Amino acid sequence: MRADRLVAAVLLMQARGRVTAAELADELEVSVSTARRDLEALSTAGIPVYPQRGRGGGWSLIGGARTDLSGLSATEAQALFLLVGPAAAVSDEAKAALRKLVRALPQTFRADAEAAASATMIDPTRWGERGRERPQLVDLLQSAVVQRRKVHLTYTNSTGERSERRIDPWGLVDKDDIWYLIAGTEHGRRTFRVDRIVEAQQIDQPAERPDGFTLAAAWHETVDEVEQRRSRTWATVLIEPRFVPVLRDHFGRHCHSDGEIDGRARIRLAAPTPLDIARKLAGWGGMIDVVEPASVQAELGRIGAELASRYRHRT
């Protein structure tokens, strides 16, 4: 996991004082380009890692060669934990790396560093959407979570309605490059898509957080709620096996294989409404056969008739 490599890179530089990308790649058994990207990621995140060009150059951790992490400031330790922390949600190795990293930090830094590590998590399972660029507001929101400061949001919901909100930020989730903010509001816990946040401003007021709150547990509850809304309608379709990966790409976790019939894959698909399923399948034409339910078949027939009526006389 990348989290292990980032921690190992810091410890290696502290032990040696300076290391080249090639040496790091050899030590970690990765490519030189991967090692270089890891070093650049550390530097970009605020860890005091700097390259020195020319003969005898390499990457150094400013502060001297040490075998512990006492050379890091509180801010630098937070930056490292923001990089490493998310992977702990999906990797036992990353969790172990974090525990070692905590023990190596000065006592006065541990609370802030642990807050940074728990500010973000990764959920690698897609909801049928393609990855996007990391929103610029993620850094501001991460800082507010770690420092426990309220945030004033200008937010646009799925229907385009804009609203002003003052929230208590509790944590961020990276779901295949789609970012979500879990926060407390006057109406209870809410989940916001970060790419729908128009503006965000940190407020110099302490944010409240429920006792015993964990980001992973809150996110699992959010996922369960969303899954129930997104899978109200199920359909069974038949398609050539070679096209199944394309369906999975369109429907994400709401696409399940259910054996084969006469050489075709039997697939179960889900969406909020029959129309939602029909819209995604209409472009397949006769390449896909909807077995059930009748409601999806009816929507496909209606869409087909509408298109035939509109384009029948056009050449």
Domain CATH number, residue 205: 2.30.30.520
Domain that holds residue 28: 2-117
Residue at a domain's end among 179, 213, 247: 213
Q: Phi/psi zone of residue 285: left (φ > 0), alpha (ψ -120 to 50 degrees), beta?
A: left
**Residue 221, in any domain of the structure:** no
My answer on whether 160 and 103 are in the same domain is no
My answer on whether 258 and 208 are in the same domain is no
* Domain CATH code at residue 288: 3.30.70
Q: How many domains does the chain have?
A: 3
**Residue 131, in any domain of the structure:** no
* Domain CATH code at residue 63: 1.10.10
My answer on whether 190 and 240 are in the same domain is no
Residue holding tokens 């090692």? 35
**Residue 46, in any domain of the structure:** yes
My answer on whether 32 and 104 are in the same domain is yes
Residue at a domain's end among 157, 184, 213: 213
**Residue 124, in any domain of the structure:** no
My answer on whether 108 and 143 are in the same domain is no
**Residue 304, in any domain of the structure:** yes
**Residue 248, in any domain of the structure:** yes
My answer on whether 246 and 280 are in the same domain is yes
Q: What angle do CA 112, 114, 115 make, to 5 degrees?
A: 60
Residue at a domain's end among 63, 88, 117: 117
My answer on whether 107 and 142 are in the same domain is no
Phi, psi of 151 (to 5 degrees): -135, 135
Per-residue pLDDT 10s for the chain (315 aa) are: 455 577 677 767 766 677 888 888 887 778 888 888 888 877 776 677 778 776 667 888 765 434 345 555 555 555 555 555 555 554 555 555 555 555 555 555 556 555 655 566 666 565 555 556 678 888 889 888 878 899 999 999 888 899 999 999 998 888 767 889 999 999 899 999 999 999 999 999 999 988 888 888 888 888 888 777 777 899 999 999 999 999 988 888 788 999 999 999 999 999 889 999 999 999 999 999 999 999 999 999 999 999 888 888 765
In this predicted structure, what is the pLDDT of residue 132? Answer: 60
As a whole number of Å, the end-to-end CA separation of the chain is 56
My answer on whether 166 and 242 are in the same domain is no
In this predicted structure, what is the pLDDT of residue 66? Answer: 44
In this predicted structure, what is the pLDDT of residue 90? Answer: 47
My answer on whether 20 and 88 are in the same domain is yes
Alpha helices, DSSP H only, in the chain? 2-16, 21-28, 32-45, 74-84, 92-104, 107-117, 137-147, 215-230, 244-251, 274-281, 294-311
**Residue 209, in any domain of the structure:** yes
My answer on whether 143 and 244 are in the same domain is no
My answer on whether 79 and 36 are in the same domain is yes
How far is 49 from 31, CA to CA, in rounded Å?
A: 19
My answer on whether 277 and 203 are in the same domain is no
**Residue 24, in any domain of the structure:** yes
Report CA-CA distances (Å) from 226 to 90, 120, 169, 220, 222. Answer: 20, 19, 20, 10, 6
The contacts of residue 156 (CB under 8 Å, 6+ apart) are 162, 163, 196, 197, 198
